Structure 1
């Protein structure tokens, strides 16, 4: 991004996703998962992830959302999707789905990290949760993801003591421990 007078600045933004964004979201998701889960999933599982199949699922989801407060946001550099996030009511048993909104997915393309896209996307998530009248934001992250934890805590999020273990492969072979962070969305 240039800061010289008279020179254009980078064309970056965040917005609500459209059904036509499905392919770009799927491509970011595949690249992000291949990096984030390289130590958890067998290489052949990650290599077999098909962006076209994942895009079809995203297209269906974007065409017919399950809940009026479920939102998919995309981070853009010009017209290229560089990240995405999903917000909506939490499904956690110990939370209030009216007051507690969750960032259920949050990914920035590995090649586009550390360029400000994540910060813009996080702020868009918070703004969306506030607009949807949630008073507390929640976000689950892998317990070993120190970079994401630092990113969120620097933005004001903090652990709330909740934790869980997920079976990512459905057969008990790939388990990941997660911790939950939260932030107040009102003063």
Structure 2
């Protein structure tokens, strides 16, 4: 039986190009052409810094790989998944689940007792993914300023 070469691993220098491209593609899905005004080099530089100079030992960046190609990423800060995105053409192949597992395993090693993640209101695919993984609405909402109005995020959480 042939198995696909898929994995999740800690991000390393050089992964920031793929991470930035995946993040901007995800944002484009919600923000449309407004994303084109964002300075891609700054987004890439911020990811490069997150990989090599994280604010703490508990901040982590993971990537999902399909063979040698980075197809997704997750960013973890203490107790919270800040970002988890998979390139549109690689969704529904288990990459998000591998990234979520890497985050959960890391949080457990860090001694955390729960995990939090955020989903934009109306992002039914992300909400379905989080709830199928055992996270439930945590009763917290936050509003982010978007280029064409406010975006509301809902916090999801689960005990570890």
Let me know the Cα RMSD of the aligned residues.
Answer: 1.5
1:61 is displaced (CA, Å) by 2.2
| Partner of residue 61, structure 1 | 50
**Residues 50, 61 of structure 2: 8 Å contact kept:** no
Whose radius of gyration is greater, 1 or 2? Answer: 1
1:17 is displaced (CA, Å) by 0.6
| Partner of residue 143, structure 2 | 165
| Partner of residue 76, structure 2 | 87
Distance 1:183 1:79 in 2: 32
| Partner of residue 93, structure 2 | 115
TM-score under structure 1 normalisation? 0.80
**Residues 143, 153 of structure 2: 8 Å contact kept:** yes
Do the aligned partners of residues 142 and 125 (structure 1) sit closer, same or farther apart at CA in structure 2, a change above 3 Å counting?
A: same
Secondary structure of the residue aligned to 2:92 is coil
**Residues 23, 51 of structure 1: 8 Å contact kept:** no
| Partner of residue 92, structure 1 | none
| Partner of residue 152, structure 2 | 177
Distance 1:31 1:18 in 2: 21
Residue pairs, 1:146-157, within 5 angstroms: 146-157=124-135
By percentage of residues, which structure has more strand?
2
| Partner of residue 97, structure 1 | none
Number of positions where the alignment pairs a residue of Structure 1 with one of Structure 2? 160
By percentage of residues, which structure has more helix?
2
Distance 1:50 1:80 in 2: 23
Q: Which runs of 5 or more residues in structure 1 are unaligned?
A: 90-100
Distance 2:87 2:39 in 1: 16
Distance 2:30 2:88 in 1: 9
TM-score under structure 2 normalisation? 0.93
**Residues 23, 52 of structure 1: 8 Å contact kept:** no
1:133 is displaced (CA, Å) by 1.3
Residue pairs, 1:4-23, within 5 angstroms: 5=1, 8-23=2-17
Secondary structure of the residue aligned to 2:42 is helix
Secondary structure of the residue aligned to 1:20 is coil
Secondary structure of the residue aligned to 2:100 is helix
Q: Which runs of 5 or more residues in structure 2 are unaligned?
A: none
Distance 2:107 2:26 in 1: 24
1:50 is displaced (CA, Å) by 4.5
